[in-house]
Amino acid sequence: MASSQEYDEKEVVDNCYEKLKDFDYIRFTFNDMSGTGRCKVVHQRHLKTTLESGIRSAGVTAIGSLGNKLPKDCLMMDNGCPDMLYLPQKGTCHALPWAGCGKYKVGEVLTDVHSLDRRYADFSTRHAAMRQLRTLKEMGYEVLSAYELEYYIMKKDESGSYVSLYDKDEYESAFLWTKYEKFMYEIESNLFGAGINIEHMHTEYAGGQFEMTVPPETGVNSADTAILYKNGIKEILGLHEGYLATFMSKPIAKKAGSGCHFNHSLWKDGKPAFYDETKEHGLSDLARYFLAGQLKHARALTAFLAPTYNCYRRIVCPFAAPNIANWGIDSRECYVRVKIGSSTGPYLENRLGGAVANPYLVMASILAAGIDGVRHKMELPEQKAQGPDVIRMPKSLEEALKALEEDNDLKEILGKGLVENYIRTKRGVEVKMFNSDVGQESAEDIEKERQFYMDLL
């Protein structure tokens, strides 16, 4: 188990109570290793005692596997499947305007998984992100980040199968936006009521695909926002009979995949630490080291950024998703796109992630790779590097898991308990379940993956 609570529990309980006491029902929510939201709900009369005691639930729930499928050798199963404790986390209370059947006021607080003696579990994905943030803070840096998440809205056709909301592929189409804006304005207004400040909205590349962006935030807040964004959109669309939203990486054959682009920069004493006006492109040595670390560990990072079997159908076209570990100034064809010219200084956009990825693991793994690059002052290759020496991304989930298993430096920084649980769960369920060649993109193969992934992810 990791260290005990790193803040005043009484302060958190008192703060949460003040923010949640006027709701009829309160959802105590946590996210498993896949990023899927899971919860227990209490009435307001039980709020104070539940905040103080936490929620007890089977520890395997936090490890999590879709469809309640868990490998027999899962680390929580081989010691009797004990309870764990889910404790409220600082600064995570908000309303859920779409919940409550139009009759009840519903609030939510995010929790994190602990042992019964109130120590963080070593397989907590949120705490894994917080540990990397703490390491950077000890080095004198603060992280500013935001996620760009794409998703499809699906509807049932006459046969009962889910198809995209519309077929025509038109990026940022004003006509298509107006035609389907009722869904988007409902989503935006509900998310704003939950505390998410959507900046821009538009139709994405593929028919029925959308993107809504949010401003960057410090620390773990951006990952908390991404979790609420994903869970909220799915819940809101789920209230419409015959519709759903999915962040599945490739839900439709021959259509564009959905990505999770992680934009991030480091700051020191209120100034952008990635900026140095004396360096080429204004990129500081720190930025180059941090970027080089992401390139070196790219194959292992793929296990977290492309966490499902279906994700590897997306990593086939460099424009849609990178298949080699390179970088470039404002290049959408690269693994890491370096954005310059911003008033806040340069920042990095890691473009590998599928929309289905757990935001906490995206943050934790990318920051861990960057930290390793800084510690070892790794040399950054030339822009848009090609050729036989360039690192190539794994072509399957098993290949990515093997790369993670063999990356001892990244495992050490992330925590072996987290990595071991993750690998066992993925291998014990998804690797065994799917064995078709992702290069053969048949509707039948994708339908099998849709049955497993689409509803919950």
Would you state the pLDDT for residue 321? 78
- Alpha-carbon distance of 379 to 146, in angstroms, equals 26
Q: What is the pLDDT of residue 4?
A: 44
- Report residue 119: phi and psi, to 5°: -110, 140
Q: What is the mean pLDDT of residues 252-264?
A: 94
Task: Give the pLDDT confidence score for residue 1 in this predicted structure.
Answer: 42
User: How much is the average pLDDT of 354-363?
Assistant: 98
Residue 440: pLDDT band (50, 70, 90) is: low
Strand partners, 146: 263
Alpha helices in 297-433 (DSSP H): 298-305, 359-375, 397-406, 408-414, 416-426, 432-433
Pairing of strands 55-58, 83-95: antiparallel
The per-residue b/e assignment along 194-209, b for 16 or more CB within 10 angstroms, e otherwise, is: bebebeeeebbbbbbb
The pLDDT tens digits of the residues spanning 204-247 come to 999 999 999 999 999 999 999 999 999 999 999 999 999 999 99
Cβ–Cβ contacts within 10 Å for residue 79, how many? 8
**Which of 321-325, 435-439, 443-447 comes out lowest in average pLDDT?**
435-439
Helix (H) or strand (E) run with residue 80 in it = none
Q: pLDDT at residue 77 above 80?
A: no
Give CA angle at 296 (295, 299), nearest 5°.
85
316 has pLDDT over 90: no
Q: What average pLDDT does the chain have?
A: 92
Predicted pLDDT of residue 82: 83
Pick 287 or 320 by higher pLDDT: 287
Half-sphere exposure (CA, 13 Å, Cβ side) for 257? 30
Can you tell me which residue has the tokens 């009369």?
Answer: 45
Judging by DSSP bridges, how do beta strands 200-203 and 327-329 pair with one another? Answer: unpaired
φ, ψ at 155 (rounded to 5°): -135, 155
Residue 396 has pLDDT above 60, yes or no: yes
Closest CA to 132 of 352, 401, 412, 319: 412
Q: Which domains does the chain have, with CATH numbers?
A: 9-120 (3.10.20.70), 133-453 (3.30.590.10)
What does the pLDDT read at residue 131?
98
